[in-house]
Amino acid sequence: NDESISIINLACIQDSGHTINDAEAKQLAESLAANTYVTELYLNVIELSVRGAAFLMAFIRSSKSLEILSLQSCSHLDMEEYTNPPLVIDVLTRAALSNTTNNNLCVEFDSCQIARSTLLATVEASSSLSELYFATPCEMIVDGEDPTLEDISFSRTMECLHVTQDPFDTLNNRSLALFLLEISVHLPKLVTLGVIDLNDDIPLDELLTKSRTLEELQYTRTRQNNKDALTHRPLIDFLFRTDSLKRVYLNLPGISVQQKTQISLAFEANRSIVQVWQNPVICPNLEKYSLRNSNFRSNWGDLSVTILLELFPIAAAVGVRSAQGRSALFQRLPSLLCSLEQFRQ
């Protein structure tokens, strides 16, 4: 119970690191039995059996200090070779889900094969996780019948989800990324979504426009797929359509001039984003558009607008009742109120 030790890293980075075995797992579990200081535990489990994983369950279930449990099941010497069955990942993940004393716990997956049933368990109502993080591309093992997401009771503690896709794409990896994004729409408390190396064939705009709780989007590209240059069209369409997003973080090395122009136009049309971080600088005006929205919200955020639908044709009434109609109306309010702003001052 050494207070100077808060991070235990038994994972591999490139060609260095450590893989824990069953005997070491037992020793580690004994040493952690009364620990109250460890906040992060990183484990490479390629040599761990279910019996070895069971030794660590008591600490994972009961720790009040643990904030990150990271599971790695692949040697970084060969990222394509998964050497551990998903059952060990399932055992350790479910131990984290049953930790009811900690409402600030994140489970991170690094180069894992994960059963679909395990993924569903992390986001169901019984889960106490606050964050799910896919540090590198992982693969989903389809087990059991296809779930009907509308029939599932989802977690009310999950606030952050980070999805990483292989930019060179494999079928299983794409299935995992798409499945997680479909789930994100149903999480009633999800505030932050991070996507890394998402390809254009994932309908980001169609999926995320359905979310009414999402406030922050972190969109990152680390590697360029030379086979097919990205258009970032799903991202641009989503920025045009969303009326709930507040913060956007864009890390887009190699973005083209045309794409910069399209993203700038999306920000100009958007009326909800109040904070933006960009690398490289896409357009200096993005900060100006965000400041405009921030000022509008601070001055007119409590404004109540009544629209007499009988003054409009039926088609217009239907439009205002729809999400697209409300968004279109909201986009025109600032220009409508610009003279009122001077009157209020």
Euclidean distance between CA atoms 305 and 6, whole angstroms: 52
Nearest CA-CA partner of 218 in 265, 161, 272, 169 = 161
CB atoms within 10 A of CB 283: 17
Euclidean distance between CA atoms 127 and 96, whole angstroms: 9
The percent helix, strand, coil of the chain (3-state, each to 5) is 40, 20, 40
In this predicted structure, the answer to whether residue 308 has a pLDDT above a threshold of 80 is no
- Residue 41's Cβ-side half-sphere holds a number of Cα atoms within 13 Å equal to 24
**pLDDT above 90 covers what percent of the chain?**
50
Contact 164, 135 (CB under 8 A): yes
pLDDT attached to residue 319 = 55
pLDDT attached to residue 61 = 95
Higher-pLDDT residue of 47 and 144 is: 47
* Tens of pLDDT, residues 19-43: 899 999 999 999 998 889 999 999 9
pLDDT attached to residue 323 = 59
* Tens of pLDDT, residues 289-299: 999 988 888 87
* Tens of pLDDT, residues 92-123: 999 999 998 888 999 999 988 899 999 999 99
In this predicted structure, the answer to whether residue 82 has a pLDDT above a threshold of 50 is no
DSSP 203: -
Euclidean distance between CA atoms 303 and 271, whole angstroms: 15
Close Cβ partners of 249 (under 8 Å, ≥ 6 residues apart):
216, 217, 218, 219, 220, 276, 277
Contact 86, 141 (CB under 8 A): yes
Region 263-284: mean pLDDT is 93
pLDDT attached to residue 246 = 95
| pLDDT band at residue 79 using 50, 70 and 90 as cut-offs | very low
**pLDDT above 70 covers what percent of the chain?**
79
In this predicted structure, the answer to whether residue 330 has a pLDDT above a threshold of 80 is no
Higher-pLDDT residue of 123 and 3 is: 123
* Tens of pLDDT, residues 148-163: 998 999 999 999 999 9
* Tens of pLDDT, residues 270-279: 989 999 999 9
pLDDT attached to residue 73 = 85
In the three-class reduction of DSSP (H, G, I as helix; E, B as strand; rest coil), residue 218 is classed as strand
pLDDT attached to residue 232 = 85
Contact 29, 67 (CB under 8 A): no
Nearest CA-CA partner of 58 in 41, 34, 22, 40 = 34
